[in-house]
Each structure stands twice: as C-alpha cells, then as structure tokens.
Structure 1
C-alpha cells in the first residue's frame, strides 16, 4: 500500500492503473462490509436516540461540494479542450484524457480522484443511520454499484469514463452544496430538491446515451476504447438508476401529496361516520327514555 501512495504523490498514474487492475476486487469486500455495517447500525440505533450531527454533516457536505465543483471544472475543461480540436464524438471514444501532461488539464489526476472518492462517499450513509433517517434501497444500491464499477473501470480504462466522471462531478457539486445549506440550518425553496432529482435523472439519460453511442461505434468496427462487457454493465447500471430515480421522483414529489389527501379524506369520512353513529345512538337513547 505504501507504494500505492508513493505513486500517487509522484503522479505515476500508470502504476496506479496497474495496481487498480490487480486490486479492484477490494471494492467488493468493502461493499460487503458496508452493507453489513449499515444494517447492523440501523438495528443498533432502534433503541437509541438519534444523533444531531448537523455541524459534522455541514463540514462533510461542504468538503464534498468544493471537491466536486473543482473536479467538474477540471474534467469539463479537458473535454472542451479536446472537443475544440477533435470534435465532441472524439471525447467519448478516446483515452487521451489518461495521458495528458500536468501542464494541460491534469485529467489523469482527476480521473483517479473521481474513482477513489467513491470510497469516502460511502460515509454519506453513516449520517443517515446515526440520525435515524429513512434508508432507501436506491441510496445504498447506488453507492455500492458506482463504487465497484468505478474501481473496476479505472483498472480497465474506458473512454466513456471521462464523461461519466465529468457529469457526476457536476451533479454532486450541486447536490452536496444543497446538503451543506440544509445542514447549516438554512431553508431552501421547495423546488430545489425537485430540480436536483430531475438533474440526477438527466444524468442517467446522458449515461445511457454515451453508452449507446459507444456500443454503436464498437459494432461498426470504429476506433472506440470501450470493452463490450463494460458497455453492457454500465448500460444496465444506468438503466437501473433511471428507473429507481424516476420511481423516487414519482413517490416523493407526485404521489405522496395525493396519498395524503386520500388518507385525510378517509379519516374525515370515518370521523363523519362515527359522528353519525353517535348521533343515531343518542337519538335512539332519547327515544327510549321518552317511551319509558
């Protein structure tokens, strides 16, 4: 592991690529431990009061927001630079971003940082568990699959990874900035989380488009540095995210208000029936008393 960090400090990304190629399976074992810990943590917290953790969550979210903002700036800078010289389609099929010199956009560094950042991002779930918030399937499934896919793909470089990382940096820049604002105690307009979820759905659409384009290029026999297996894995992953995020959007922003109205209407209906029943009983009782 010391050689790994020495290579990182020296900017030896060729060594890091080879190291990840041989050791990407670590992400599988880490993911297994992650799942065990979060569900054990939920069980442990059931009989205990929730932690506040607002200051810690603010610092955590702000740090990830700043990291993502700078990452989006550097990765999109590399894409725009290459697109101006070779065209947009070139940026989806070339591995040139992994061979840039530090004097350019330093894309190799930000590709590595993107891959590695998926490990500490698992820490998001700690706040959910310790604050006793609802942990949905989408959250931990998304964290695990992105983590494993990024570690695998860094060791088996793919041209499409450039776009995946750039778009993800951008979305996370906005998302973690929103989390930081909320953790600081400031209120935000209700449309902001709706916009963020919409942006996440659009991210999945973009990921599907990039994969379909790469697949078309591969079947045409064109030069596109993406393995067919990686494309299918990535496409399945993005499609599953698209379905899950759309379902989340539907349940969170569209269905719940209607369901709430239905529940309230049912409750009001029951209350009316109870009142009518009580009134009938009282009337019957008065009638009996009058007879007697």
Structure 2
C-alpha cells in the first residue's frame, strides 16, 4: 500500500510538471510544490513550536528600526506590484468584466505574469511579520488564524499561477490586495516609528473599513460571472473559490466591526500596545488575501503552544 501511495504521489508530481505553464516554469519556487510546501511547513513549525521555545528564556529584542525599514520596503514593493498590474492589463486593456485567462506570450502578457509571480513571492516575504512577533516575544499575536493565513495564502497562489499565471478576472483580488497592503504597511511603519507618531494613527479604525471595502470589491467583481449572458472563463473553479473567500471574510469582518466599533468592546489596557503590524489599541484581525489582522486572541500555555481564545477587537 505504501509503495502504491508513493507511486501515485510521483505520478501526480509528474502531472503537475507537465501542466505547469511554460511561461512561469523558470521562476523561483515554481518548479515543484515541494519547495514552497517545505518552506511553509517550516514556517508553521517555527512559529508554533521552535520560536516560542527559542525565546522562552531570552529577553524580547527591540527591532523598531528593522521593522520601519521592513514596512517601508513592503510599501514600495506593493506599490510596484500595483503599478505593474495596472500597466500590464488592469489599467490598459482589461474590461474589468469577463477578462479571460490569457494564454499568449505577448510582452504585455509576460509583464502581467511577472506581476502575478511577484505578488505570490511577496507572500513569502510577509512571513517576516511572524518572525518579528517571535523575536519580540509577542506570541499572543500569533493566533491560529495568523499562521493559517500566512501559510495558506502562498500555498493556494502557487496552484493559481502554476496553471493560470495570467488569470484575467480571477486575478483582480490580487490587485485590490496589493493596494490595501500599501496602505496597511504604511500604517504599520508609522506604528513602529514610536510614540511620537501615535498622533498620526487616528485613522486606525478605517483600516477595518478598507478591509471591508476590499471584500466588497472582490465579491462584486467576481459575482459578475454569474449574471453575464456569456463568459467563457476557462477555469470556473477559480471564480467559485474567490467568491466564497470574499464573502466569508466580509462576514467575518462585519462581525468584527459590530463588536469593536458599534458595541464598543475594547481591549484591556494591558493589551493596548503597539506591535509589529498591530498598532496601539489594535489586537489582531484577519484579512482575506490581505494583511493578517486576525479576528482572534491567542495565549501561550506553559509549553508554549498556541491556544485560540475568544474574539477580540482591533
């Protein structure tokens, strides 16, 4: 039975290599799902097990300068991704309606593929968000949703750009997410800059509003598929998955908005401290296809394991 299972895995791996789009095959981390899966499994293992034990008897590191540089770099990277998405289709030839998967090798299509791969690769850079939490002993920020989102997002995107690197209407959420990341990393950069910048963080509440708007835009855009008289999108599965993803996280954040800003359930004062990618009075939310402000609260038990607790506000 084991031999048969191994044989089936090898057959599937060979099938994937044959199906990998030749236009993206030579990009880093695109040759096989084994590479990126190994990185993401190592990330989960470090975040949940190794990291907390490594820092258990050490003082938290002060990484404000590193975080400021990192957040500024992510602002610039995501701004570049946005510009490439716009120049390679979304701001030029795309209709914003039934834009099909592009199978050509025109210069514009290849530019779109580069932008899509760069968006995918940026998700691996975002794993440093968690590293900052670990080194600063902010383990309560590393909730189940935080780890799941950071590992699941790049894993799913590998399949998308492996099979459909120029995904047409199925890639709209990446454009929106990159725009949101420009705004959010700018906010986090200011938060990491220290107390003197706290007066400029009055718009923290609107980060959640921007997230809700993101989900609305993605869901409405992809929903067009169901009402068009004819749209021959080549992989309808992407449409269904994106719609479900957008709606699910819209509901999640709508509930968060009600709990945090209508019912006014605030965090205890002890929890209200600026942290990497989580500023004053902000305690982890989750962002679909976006920044991981997670809508949960985690605690460490004596063994350093993550325990998911009750919902908290930003």
Taking structure 2 as the reference length, what is the TM-score of the superposition?
0.65
User: Mapping of 1:152-191 within 5 angstroms?
Assistant: 152-157=159-164, 158-185=167-194, 186-191=197-202
- Aligned match of 1:276: none
Structure 1 residue 247, shift from structure 2 partner = 4.1
1:48 to 58, 66, 88: 58
Relative to structure 1, is the Cα distance of residues 76 and 156 closer, same or farther in structure 2, using a 3 angstrom cutoff?
A: same
- Is residue 244 of structure 2 the alignment partner of residue 236 of structure 1? yes
Structure 1 residue 176, shift from structure 2 partner = 0.8
User: Mapping of 1:114-125 within 5 angstroms?
Assistant: 114-125=119-130
Structure 1 residue 142, shift from structure 2 partner = 2.1
User: Mapping of 1:42-81 within 5 angstroms?
Assistant: 42-77=52-87, 78-81=89-92
The answer to which structure has the higher helix fraction is: 1
Aligned-partner Cα distance in 1 for 2:100–2:253: 30
- Aligned match of 1:29: 38
Q: Deviations over 1:67-110 (max 9, x none)?
A: 11121122123312114xxx3314xx2234974416x9932221
Relative to structure 1, is the Cα distance of residues 166 and 98 closer, same or farther in structure 2, using a 3 angstrom cutoff?
A: farther
- Is residue 217 of structure 2 the alignment partner of residue 206 of structure 1? yes
Relative to structure 1, is the Cα distance of residues 96 and 191 closer, same or farther in structure 2, using a 3 angstrom cutoff?
A: farther
Relative to structure 1, is the Cα distance of residues 29 and 246 closer, same or farther in structure 2, using a 3 angstrom cutoff?
A: farther
- Is residue 158 of structure 2 the alignment partner of residue 151 of structure 1? yes
Q: Which runs of 5+ in 2 are unaligned?
A: 1-20, 270-314
Relative to structure 1, is the Cα distance of residues 190 and 183 closer, same or farther in structure 2, using a 3 angstrom cutoff?
A: closer
Q: Which runs of 5+ in 1 are unaligned?
A: 1-12, 262-292
Aligned-partner Cα distance in 1 for 2:200–2:110: 36
- Aligned match of 2:96: 88
- Aligned match of 1:111: 116
Decide whether the 8 Å contact of 1:138 with 1:244 is kept in 2. no
Secondary structure of the residue aligned to 1:106 is: helix
Relative to structure 1, is the Cα distance of residues 31 and 254 closer, same or farther in structure 2, using a 3 angstrom cutoff?
A: farther
Aligned-partner Cα distance in 2 for 1:25–1:236: 27
Secondary structure of the residue aligned to 2:22 is: helix
Decide whether the 8 Å contact of 1:17 with 1:154 is kept in 2. no
Aligned-partner Cα distance in 1 for 2:57–2:171: 45
2:142 to 135, 145, 162: 135
Q: How many residues align?
A: 240
Decide whether the 8 Å contact of 1:69 with 1:170 is kept in 2. yes
Aligned-partner Cα distance in 1 for 2:258–2:134: 24
Q: Deviations over 1:248-289 (max 9, x none)?
A: 44455455546769xxxxxxxxxxxxxxxxxxxxxxxxxxxx
Aligned-partner Cα distance in 2 for 1:43–1:111: 36
